Structure formats: C-alpha cells, structure tokens
Amino acid sequence: MAFSPDGHLLATAGFDKTVRLWNPATGEPIGNPLDRHTDTVYAVAFSADGHLLATASRDRTVQLWNPATQQPIGNPLTSHTEAVYTVAFSPDGHLLATGGEDKTVRLYEAQRPERALEGRVGGAAARALLGTLSTGESVSLGPVPNVGVVLAVAFSPDGYQLATVGLDKTVRLWNLATREPIGTPLTGHTDAVYAVAFSPDGHLLATAGLDRTVRLWDPATREPVGTPLTGHTHTVRAVAFSPDGHLLATAGFDKTVRLWNPAAQEPVGNLTGHTGPVAAVAFSPDGHLLATAGEDKTVRLWNPAAQEPVGNLTGHTGTVYAVAFSPDGHLLATAGLDTTVMLWNPATQQLIGTPLTGHTHTVRAVAFSPDGHLLATAGLDKPVRLWNPATQEPVGNPLTGTPTRSLRWRSHPTDISSPPLASTGRCGCGLLPDSRNKAPRLRARKDDTGERSGGGTASCAASHTCWTSLPF
C-alpha cells in the first residue's frame, strides 16, 4: 500500500494478483484493477514525482504503470528468476531497484536517453536492452549477483549508494553510478539480517537481525564502526534513527527497546516495561517522543533524551501491531489484534474520541497521508479504510482488496529512509512466502534457543505472536 507523493492517489495490492488505485479524498476506486500480474503482488512504489508506479510480484516480474492513465508501461521486467519482494526508486527517480528470492538486486534506469544508456552500459547484451521505461521499453542495468535472498534494501540519502541485506548474513553496498558492488560484502552478522537503515546524514548504516546484534558501518570506508551493539537477547526486528540522527532505537522479541548513541557506539538507555515482544517503534517528527507497542496490549511513550517513560496508553485488548505519528506530531495512531484503530493526543496521552471501528480482523498497519489529512488503515480483513483524523469519520467506502500485513508511507519525495513499499508478503518473523506455491507457505526455522520461529500455511504457527514491524 502506498500514497503517491502528493497524496492524491493510493495504491493497494495483494493476494488477488491485482493493483488498485483509489482517490483517498472520496474513497472511490479509480478505473479498473491493474491486472497484469499472474500471482500475489508483494510491493508497490511511486516514483518521487508520482509519474510512475512500480509493482513486484511472486510471478517473478516487475511492472511499471502510468498512474494517470492506469495503463502498463511496456512489457513486464522479467530479469528475476524467482519471486520479487521489494522495489524502490532512488531519491531523484532515475533508478529503480528490485530484489527477491533469486538472490539478485536488479537496477533499471527509469528515464534515460538511449545514447546515454549505451555509452554507460555498453556491450551487445546492453544494446539488446536499450530503451527507456518511460517510452515502454525496459532497460536492465544488470543484476547485482550472489546476494542471497534479499530481505531489505535502502538507498543512501544522497541517492548514490544502495544497501542490501538478507538471508546470506551479509550487508552489501552498491555504487549506483557504475552499477558495481563497492568492494566485498560487509560481514560480521552470523545469521539473517532483517533490517537496514541509513542515518539521516548518510554517514552511518545500521543493520540488525536474527543474531541479536545491531551493527554500525561507515558507508564511505565500508568498515564496521566500533564493535557490535549487543544487549538484545532475541531477534532484533526493527531499527530506527531519530530525525536528527543522534539516537538509534532498536526493538525485538526480547521485550525491550534499546537506545544507542550512534556516534559513540554506546548504549544510552534500555527501555523496559513491555511484558511481551515489541512489535513497533516510531519517533515523533521532532524526535522528542518515542512510541513503542507490542504483545502486552499497551502503547508506551518515552522521552528518548532522558530515557524515561512519559506515558502508558491502555485501551487495546490485544497485541498492538502498528503505531504512527501524524506529520505534525499532534496525533498518534495505533492499531492491532482487537480490530480497532485508536487516535491519541501524545501531549496529554489521552484517547481522542472513541476507537475507530469497522475492521473485522487484525489491523496490521496504519499510515498518515503526507499532509496528515487522511489516515489509512489495513489488515487481515482485506479492506483498506480511510479516515479523517480531525473528525474521526470514515472517508468513503472501504477499499476492498486483499489482506494487508504492512504499510509504509513517505512524507516527502526526498525522504527515502522509508521507501513507499507495501505488502511485502513477509510474516513478522521475517520468514518469506514460498514463491513456488500459490499458498503463502512460511518456512520454519529454529534459533539457537531451539524455539520454532515460524511455519504453517497462510499464518505463522510460531509459539510467539508474529508481526510486520514498521521501520518509522
């Protein structure tokens, strides 16, 4: 699920193989479903100018669309040989990066003259692929090989580098100008890497995963910065830099949220109080508050500078899976297992009005539109619902589609720390659906405690609750 940069369009996708465009202001669908894919659609992303929409699917293809006409642009991009899980445009919109189960990241030039492409790429293989995405031809700038199953990608703030992480335990950096890897993979993690984030100034890269460590890297030198940040006693599923980059928050299955000083590579706080795994973390836009939520049914507010709790929001009757601040920081939206969405005043820590009801199953994701005038909510009951946060009234009819587990939005086209990707198709354990089967089968694995981390068909059979964490 993704808002266009100007907030005038909403794209949703999922298990029914289609992509749907909606008018968020009216809640009405725009045109017919976009139905070129032949299997589950895992990810959608708008370009920074909103003129392109990219979609990725279990059918091993990436398709570009013109959102204005709802028409496909050219033929599907078919370079991947397995399911494609993630797509991201570079900040300037010139490149599209895709990654998936075939262990490659592929780069495409979004709008590039034929002469420049031929001069830059060269060779018979490149000439066979010449053209531009905007005129209907796909131009692959080549696969990024041998990266293992890709779980996450992140562009650097300046758009010159791409970071990829995944099941092969490594972190890889790529030069987007040359389409070449920058040196050898960054090694150190001893198990799958689930999360990656650049600091706001691009001087640091944070990664975390199943080995319970958080690692900092210098993208310029490709060297680790200090020793691994240790303290978590279970899988780390989320990392988030504060808006000024002075703090790093990490959270996971060990029921804690840890704060670190990235510059000194030292812990500055261990926020305890949750009595279950922490499912979501979010800094307020000004960085003065940190919201955390999870299996204990509570939303907790913290002063990250003082590492002190400032509030405990109770009202949900089940696991809270999603939290999001409005762009101005005046509202906090929370949602979860109890099928409700709640709006809070972070300053007074009071519930605003009554819970927003209408969902009939777990709500997994919440996101404010870039201007804060709309709130989108989605979950396992298939409809995406739009609300007016000011009046707490629904906007239009529910946007019917398919179950949605995750939702991300980008507040400004130049903010690519959280690209507008949606419906990754992953269980919150980080386990991926099997691209060879129609049903979303999750691969089971055990960590070193012997605990089963996932499995089953259509839902996780883990002994713990699963979620998709939101890297806000």
Residue 426 banded pLDDT, cuts 50, 70, 90: very low
Over its C-alpha atoms, the chain yields an Rg (Å, rounded) of 21
Q: Does position 408 have pLDDT exceeding 60, yes or no?
A: no
User: Which residue's structure tokens are 């031929």?
Assistant: 118
pLDDT at 258: 95
Q: Does position 468 have pLDDT exceeding 80, yes or no?
A: no
Residue 165 burial by Cβ neighbours in a 10 Å radius (0-12, 13-18, 19+): buried
Spans of all domains in the chain = 273-394, 431-472
Cβ atoms of residues 163 and 170 within 8 Å: no
Q: The pTM is what?
A: 0.57
Cβ neighbours, 10 Å, residue 16 = 17
What pLDDT digit, counting tens, does each position of 344-390 carry? 999 999 999 999 998 988 888 788 887 888 888 887 776 778 899 99
What pLDDT digit, counting tens, does each position of 124-160 carry? 222 222 222 232 333 344 444 445 666 666 678 887 8
Q: What percent of the chain has pLDDT over 70?
A: 74
Residue 235 banded pLDDT, cuts 50, 70, 90: confident
Nearest CA to 435 out of 34, 105, 103 is that of 103
Q: Does position 35 have pLDDT exceeding 50, yes or no?
A: yes
More confident residue, 268 or 106: 268
Q: What's the Cα-to-Cα distance from 447 to each of 59, 209, 231, 236, rounded to whole Å? A: 30, 12, 17, 12
Range 155-179 average pLDDT: 80
More confident residue, 276 or 407: 276
Q: What angle do CA 163, 429, 455 make, to 5 degrees?
A: 130
pLDDT at 207: 93
Q: Which CATH class is domain 273-394?
A: mainly beta
pLDDT at 167: 84
Range 445-455 average pLDDT: 30
pLDDT at 111: 57
Contacts of 31 (CB under 8 A, 6+ apart): 21, 70
